[in-house]
Structure 1
Amino acid sequence: MGANLKQYAAQLAEAEFSGTGVLPITSDNTGLTIEEAYQIQLENIKRKVESGQKIVGKKIGLTSLAMQRLLGVDEPDYGHLLDSMVVENGGAVSIEKVLQPKVEAEIAFVLKKELKGPNVTALDVIQATDYVVPALEIVDSRIKDWKIKLPDTIADNASSGFYVLGGKPARLSEIDLELIGMVLTKNGEVANTGVGAAALGNPINCVAWLANRLADFDISLKKGEVILSGSLSAAVEAQAGDSFTARFAHIGQVSVHF
């Protein structure tokens, strides 16, 4: 890993620690590749693991057309979930721990066996999934004013912040994720709605994409990991005092407060 990539990783780490956003990496390095951006991400994940944090899953970002349009990108990305990111259902996130948070509603998969690409299919995902539950992801960016291109958000652990799992566990045989509906409310008012098909046609397809993308780095999705499969609608900005609840057909609801 080149010295400049390590420097970018250090800048993002310092931004997270200080709570002060930095300029986009792509404004300094216009030729930053997707693969280099993932190297930056993995460098900071390695630092966090060495400090005692544990990887508990992965997140898939930018799977919906709405999110791709919002951030001006045209393909999904992924990041790592750490045990330090977990918030209990109905719990609170201190506004002091985030820079510029947004909330997304999505489906979380919990795996009962390992998935490793390449050539993982939707059927493989179904067979490897223990259950799914509703989830809220609090996305955040260490890049000032969310002025990001795809390499910026990838380097920044796919703009991860925190996540919340809720509802009731459901087997994939019990529900149709393509048709499942979602309503996200902010302070009691409808902020947006979504459907499972918004995420690459079906959230199952998102998990298959992730397993195959991770094969490029010899990384697998492990038994017991949580996989956030991608937002079903555009992210909603959050400020101190805000409350969010996502209600999903058949699998219940999940909420968080700021």
Structure 2
Amino acid sequence: MSTTEREWSVARGARALLDAESSATARGSIEAEWDGLDLGTAYAIQDEVLQRRVQRGEVLTGVKLGLTSRAKQRQMGVDAPSVAWLTDAMVLPAGDPVPRSRLIHPRAEPEIAFVMRDRLAGPGVTATSAMAAVDRVHAGVEIIDSRYSGFKFTLADAVADNNSSGVYVTGSVGLRPEDLDLALEACLLEVDGQVVSSATGAAVQGHPAEALAFAANTLAERDAAIEAGWIVLTGGMTDAVPVAPGARVAAHFTHLGSISLSGG
């Protein structure tokens, strides 16, 4: 892909994805339209989308990881997670229902969330040094969405689409990382009172700290870092489950409390 083609693709891809989001209308795969779309260009589209969000008044508040479970990596044919951005517009206040009018096909997944005390910059970040930069650990539920029809996409599609970002809520319980064994921190995911999935923190790269370190080291390749005060969503502990209108979704963690929300 030539420089001119790449720049044209970045601008067009960002515009197409933001248009799909603003109209809550699914579209087809970008990679299917642009033969040869690579991961580097997909990240460039992601960054262009972020720039346009900031220009319209959103504030960059953190990062989110995708494909942190081994099963999802095998499914997508990759051996590492992907990294995307969080802004203040993606925060779902506790108690608010899922904002269905702005989402296409919402799905819920429980996550372990970090609030950063210190700036974390790669390369060379390890799980140990990553955890040393964390202030508090919270439960989280991310309501992911996808701008692609039927939630069907390639890895490059997903990266361009900011790892299927939607909205997220974090729990009120915030614990120091040294007070938890995050690999063993368990979660039960319920829909309408029925347990539909369960997992522990080990499902996230073996330990959520590994996902945090990966994010810092990957962002360093893009001349970025994880800043103090940011939120880091470390990736789904379980598969994401569809959230039907009127459904009740709850995630119950061993030590991090519970989060409940309505499907709207």
Please tell me the TM-score bracket, short chain as reference. over 0.9
CA distance in 2, matches of 1:170, 1:177: 11
Q: CA deviation at 1:113?
A: 0.6
SS of match in other structure, 2:220? helix
SS of match in other structure, 1:13? helix
In the TM superposition, what are the counterparts of 1:20-39 in structure 2 within 5 Å?
Answer: 20-39=25-44
Partner amino acid, structure 2, of 1:91: D
Partner of 2:178: 173
Q: CA deviation at 1:63?
A: 0.3
After TM superposition, what 4+ stretches of structure 1 lie above 6 angstroms from structure 2? none
In the TM superposition, what are the counterparts of 1:51-62 in structure 2 within 5 Å?
Answer: 51-62=56-67
Partner amino acid, structure 2, of 1:166: G
Q: CA deviation at 1:255?
A: 1.9
SS of match in other structure, 1:110? strand
In the TM superposition, what are the counterparts of 1:53-202 in structure 2 within 5 Å?
Answer: 53-68=58-73, 74-202=79-207
Q: Indicate yes or no: 2:18 matched with 1:13.
A: yes
Partner of 1:242: 247
CA distance in 2, matches of 1:123, 1:73: 25
Relative to the length of structure 1, the TM-score reads 0.96
Partner of 2:3: none
Identity among equivalent positions (%) equals 38
Q: CA deviation at 1:70?
A: 5.8
How many corresponding residue pairs?
A: 258
Q: What is the root-mean-square deviation in Å for CA atoms of aligned residues? A: 1.3
Unaligned runs of 5+ in 2: 1-5
Relative to the length of structure 2, the TM-score reads 0.94
Describe the superposition over 1:176-235 as per-residue Cα deviations: whole angstroms up to 9, x where unpaired: 001111101011110100111001000010000000000111111000000000111111
Q: Is the 8 A contact 2:118 2:227 kept in 1?
A: yes
Q: Is the 8 A contact 2:110 2:189 kept in 1?
A: yes
Describe the superposition over 1:128-155 as per-residue Cα deviations: whole angstroms up to 9, x where unpaired: 0001000000110001111111000000
